A and B are shown apart, each in its own frame.
Chain A
Amino acid sequence: MAKHQTPLLDQLESGPWPSFVSDLKQEAEARAKNERNIEYQIPQDVVEDLMGVLELSYKDGTTHWKHGGIVGVFGYGGGVIGRYCDQPEQFPGVAHFHTMRVNQPAGKFYTTKYLKELCDLWEFRGSGLTNMHGSTGDIIFLGTTTPQLEEIFYELTHKHNQDLGGSGSNLRTPSDCIGQARCEYACYDTQALCHYLTNEYQDELHRPAFPYKFKFKFDGCPNCCVASIARADLSFVGTWRDEIQIDQEAVKAYVAGEFPPNAGAHAGRDWGPFDIQKEVIDRCPTGCMRYEDGKLEINNRECTRCMHCINVMPRALKPGKDRGCSILAGAKAPILDGAQMGSLLVPFIKVEEPYDEIKEVIEAIWDWWMEEGKNRERLGELMKRQGFQKLLEVTNIKPVPQHVQEPRTNPYIFWKEEEVPGGFERDIKEFRKHHQR
């Protein structure tokens, strides 16, 4: 017999999609039975109380968590999101329900051994509920009490060789696409760079020292499987600068219908036989491709590396061999002054250990933003306030046409005094000698 009636939640057990309600019930039951005789460190009925408070929220259409919460582990200024229920008498099992962010491995590849050990720890000292994973990338331990935080942290670091992720006004947990692990489009080793920079900037991740939050994300190519361009203050998007590699025999196989276009991604519907002219040549955004007499040609100087042709014919076309990444800056959600996606800052940079050039860009931006950023001002907003020009100056990057989608249309142009012959110091009397009042 469940502790609370949950008629509204129960409706979410029907339908084909995996039901989080059924899963919650399963965990609640497992904790009630406790077949492994675990000495639960937080209330055994935590999951039932969580369902209870959620049902209550469904009923009256409002949240039942109190405002904020400041908890953590000694030495760090973030990593734990404190949370308390606003009906602790009715739902004592979730009176404390803190979330811990655990730094995930790049690309989120796991062994069952590792996951089982983490689960054992979390069953014992937490609710047994997780989020795999948070949007930023972390493994999320969902729900425990304050006294357990240091205990869990001790076990994570000492037994599992595993650290917390980031929260607060700091570098948040970086994340990446699976990259070269399983994708032939990857133009650099996203996992290596993600892992390296995460380790390199541990201090910035664990101890908030920034005006506001800051995120890195790493995509191996412009397909952006980790959505870096929309969800990271600095996005690293793989690309190449030589020629697309063409296998003409494979192109013919596509035209002959031997290979399905887009690796069969549209097989669920009859789109007719593959038409290379319609589906590739005419779709190229720059019109830089030609298919004649059974031969595909690309004018690579005009190619913007949009990935379309490669995505359609992955067995025939490959990114070039001279690879690296672009760096874009300033993406953020709407608050405060409107949503932003990353703006191109570095068109091309080689990605090679020990990544010194990349670190130079990052650290120059931090130096500027840490000094000039207002309280709770994202990098994207500082760019708006002080200007893209300023960002170029502090990163020592020359302005190039690639920095803009279009030149400005208004004439409110600032000049530096040294650029103007004679400077800005003018004497009105001089002027009056030639122009009477």
Chain B
Amino acid sequence: MATVEFQGKTFTVDEDGFIESYDDWCEEWVQWVKQQEGIDELTDDHRKVIKVLQDYYEKNGIAPMVRILSKLTGFKLKQIYELFPSGPGKGACKMAGLPKPTGCV
């Protein structure tokens, strides 16, 4: 496990840059991931995706399926990639502080 220091905060992250604990999520984390994930300007649309992911995770204990993320946000997959170039898993989930996607990726 590595640590990241950013704007006075310290985060424990794994090799892929996912935050170790969802509880450590904060605005500084968002700003840090923004740099890593090829995002220039954070818009309300970015915030909306993050909020939906977090609400879903808090309620269900898992990340939503892509289809459900699209339904809840109203964004098509194409728009989600425009917002998060590495996609909903590596990009948006990482920024929202959710655990790393697993399985046969």
If A74-B38, A168-B105 touch, does A370 touch B100 (CB 8 Å cutoff)?
A: no
If A211-B67, A370-B67 touch, does A72 touch B103 (CB 8 Å cutoff)?
A: no
Interface string of B52-66 (1 = CB under 8 A from A): 000000000010011
If A167-B105, A169-B66, A376-B103 touch, does A207 touch B90 (CB 8 Å cutoff)?
A: no
A78 CB within 8 Å of chain B: yes
Interface string of B85-97 (1 = CB under 8 A from A): 1111110001000
Question: With A and B bound together, what is the CA distance between A208 and B38 in angstroms?
Answer: 19
A68 pairs with B105, CB closer than 8 A: yes
Q: Distance (Å) between the CB of A70 and the closest chain B CB? A: 5
Nearest A residue to B103, CB-CB: A376
B15 CB within 8 Å of chain A: yes
Which of A70, A169, A376 is in CB contact (< 8 Å) with B90?
Answer: A70
Q: For chain A, which range describes its interface: under 10, 10 to 19, 20 to 34, or 35 or more residues?
A: 20 to 34
Which of B67, B94, B101, B104 is in CB contact (< 8 Å) with A209?
Answer: B67
Nearest B residue to A82, CB-CB: B16
Task: Please classify the interface of chain B as helix (H, G, I), strand (E, B), loop, or mixed, using the class held by over half of its residues.
Answer: loop
Question: With A and B bound together, what is the CA distance between A66 and B81 in angstroms?
Answer: 28
Q: Distance (Å) between the CB of A367 and the closest chain B CB? A: 12
Q: Distance (Å) between the CB of B85 and the closest chain A CB? A: 4
Residues of A with C-beta under 8 A to B105: 68-70, 78, 81-82, 167-168
21 pairs, A vs B, C-beta closer than 8 Å: A69-B15, A70-B16, A70-B94, A70-B105, A72-B90, A74-B85, A75-B81, A75-B85, A77-B81, A77-B87, A77-B89, A77-B90, A78-B105, A81-B105, A82-B16, A82-B105, A96-B15, A207-B81, A209-B67, A370-B67, A375-B62
**Extra inter-chain contacts (11) besides given A68-B102, A71-B90, CB under 8 Å:** A67-B102, A68-B100, A70-B89, A70-B101, A72-B86, A76-B87, A77-B88, A78-B105, A84-B15, A213-B104, A375-B62
The residues of A with any CB-CB pair to B shorter than 8 Å are 66-78, 81-82, 84, 96, 167-169, 203, 207-211, 213, 370-371, 375-376
